[in-house]
Amino acid sequence: ISHFSSKTRGGEDPPTHPHPLYHIYARSNLRPVASSFDLRFPLTQHNITMADEAPPAAAPAPAAAGTGAKPEKKEKKAPPKDLVIPPKKPKLSKAERRALQEAQRAAKAAGGGGKKGGGGGGAGKGGKKKVDVHKGEAGSGGAGGGSSRKAAAAAAAPAVDPSMDKSLPSFSHLQQYRDPKHFEEEFSGISLGASNSVQNFHPAVLSLGMQYASGTIRGGNARAKAMLRTFQQVIRDYEPPAPSSSSSSSSRGGGKEDDVRHDLDHRIIKPAFQYWTTKCRPHSVSMGNAFTFLKLAVASLDRDMSVEEVKEILVDTIDAYIHERIDIADEAICKHGSSKIVDGDVILTYGCSSVVEVLLTDAAQEKGADTFRVIVVDSRPLLEGRALVARLADAGIECTYILLNALSYVMMREVTKVFLGAAALMSDGSVLSRVGTACVALMARSNNIPVLVCCETYKISNRVQLESITVNELGNPDDVISARCAMNGAASTAADGKQIDSVLGNWRDMPNLKVLSLLYDLTPSEFVSGIVTEMGILPATSVAVLLREMNPQDTNTAFMGSM
């Protein structure tokens, strides 16, 4: 009987990029649902582990059959990113299922009790590649501490108090938050536990990863731009490998030209992206789309090109993408959006969106800073709006700053228009944006105030998301707990750097208490009056049309002739 364990090498996390039908599988008869499936982000082959471990004695349950959800036959070949073959669901009897649930719960409790860092830390799930039903094996640990060592140890020990379990079942499918302070060795990039090769990353990649993880770079546009600039740097410094691999080149028959593209792709670009996503911070849709574009650019290079040419073309292509899809797009959005600003408007915005900031400052310049005023709504824990208010005030605009709980007051009395930014746009017109945006849009809608969402077209995602749980990102739970508020004063840390005791400062030791910090939420398209893109202002129902127009080759419809 072969088995699988929840141990992953090097503490790496499975990435969060589930198949769009994920939530359907998640509602299967296996519970806790999220832990049963582990759809890995198939970028490189080095994160596949095949652990053979003796099953812990305590659990007589059958194995968590669903944990290895990937088509595992061809492990060595990274399947294309969009292709996910749904896993075969094993047939379990009711008793087996129940036993499985118990085992997983126990393992999770073991994992959660055994480690600090509640919802974060460590490997999220054991990713296992076999889908067979196995008996006599404790299931993978689901969320919270997934390390099989701990699971084995804990499972062998008497059952841990479930009230101390800090993991969240509904969100265990998401990549757990990894506090950079606890995982410094990750960011030094020494070893990522690769089974194939040791990754040596360009220092720019590592430093960008650190910036992502620590939150220095936030925001869809900023992250995507930083990523592309880093790739430019990496490409500029790229040296092709020594032409010693005769076997591979002869098998391809293309000689070293082919190797350049392939090498770039597999050795440089993909691993870097994989590193950022799994170790530092899950990638945003903007980063994902930019990355897809880059891969396409690399793949469409001519075979017979010298390395220098390849480098030059790629660097230019990246420049053009940033210029067209982000910078020029922002200008066009400004133009269309500011045509809707009239004298006397009171404009509300939420958080800190780069494009809304440019829109408002440009409108102030063109129409005069006293034509309108702005209310910036902000929320904890990130408090991003402070930076926006400062910059708008510098531009001469009259600003008001409120927190989210004061929203209904201003909305009913003063606001005439709402401008929001977006992290991504779904193809049915729903908007993925900073958590709290949906509240603002809902409140505006119920007061008949038009809501305009400003989003560049490169952020359009062709998936459909129905709620905010299936795809989201977990933030640092300690941020939620932080004592920084009016009661304790401005500082939450004392002079020696220790955290001032807040009411919930020791939440990890409190029973029956879990802390959740989400970063994104989904605004349904009914709340959005119009979406401002570089193509103009469109109704929310037209995002799918935009996708189609931008990618006509991807459209397979019976009505092709009418296009």
Q: Which residues bind another protein (CB under 8 A)?
A: 340, 342, 417, 448, 450, 452, 529-530, 535-539, 541-542, 545-546, 549, 563
Single-letter code of the amino acid located at 549? E
**Beta-carbon contacts of residue 555 (< 8 Å; ≥ 6 apart):** 548, 563
For the CB of residue 340, give the shortest distance to another protein in the complex, in Å: 6
Q: Where are the alpha helices (DSSP H) in 77-189?
A: 94-114, 148-156, 184-187
For the CB of residue 336, give the shortest distance to another protein in the complex, in Å: 9
Angle among Cα 100, 102, 108 to the nearest 5 degrees reads 100
Instruction: Note the Cα 42 to chain centre separation in Å.
Output: 15
Q: DSSP code of 278?
A: I
Task: Provide the 3-class DSSP secondary structure of residue 133.
Answer: coil
Q: Which is nearer to another protein, 305 or 538 (CB)?
A: 538
Q: How many residues does the chain have?
A: 563
For the CB of residue 537, give the shortest distance to another protein in the complex, in Å: 4
Single-letter code of the amino acid located at 63? A
For the CB of residue 115, give the shortest distance to another protein in the complex, in Å: 50
| Pairing outcome for strands 417-421 and 451-454 | parallel
Instruction: Note the Cα 290 to chain centre separation in Å.
Output: 14
Cα dihedral across residues 473, 478, 479, 481: positive or negative:
positive
For residues 134 and 11, is the Cβ–Cβ distance under 8 A?
Answer: no
Q: Where are the alpha helices (DSSP H) in 4-49?
A: 22-26
What residues does 372 pair with on adjacent strands? 345
What residues does 530 pair with on adjacent strands? 452
For the CB of residue 454, give the shortest distance to another protein in the complex, in Å: 14
Tokens of 133: 């039903």
Single-letter code of the amino acid located at 130? K
For the CB of residue 560, give the shortest distance to another protein in the complex, in Å: 14
Task: Provide the 3-class DSSP secondary structure of residue 443.
Answer: helix
The DSSP element (H or E) to which 446 belongs, if any, is helix 437-446
For the CB of residue 536, give the shortest distance to another protein in the complex, in Å: 7
Q: Which is nearer to another protein, 210 or 341 (CB)?
A: 341
Q: Which is nearer to another protein, 235 or 531 (CB)?
A: 531
Closest CA to 326 of 235, 427, 223, 426: 223
For the CB of residue 349, give the shortest distance to another protein in the complex, in Å: 16
For residues 529 and 450, is the Cβ–Cβ distance under 8 A?
Answer: yes
For residues 189 and 255, is the Cβ–Cβ distance under 8 A?
Answer: no
Between CA 64 and CA 90 the distance in angstroms is 10
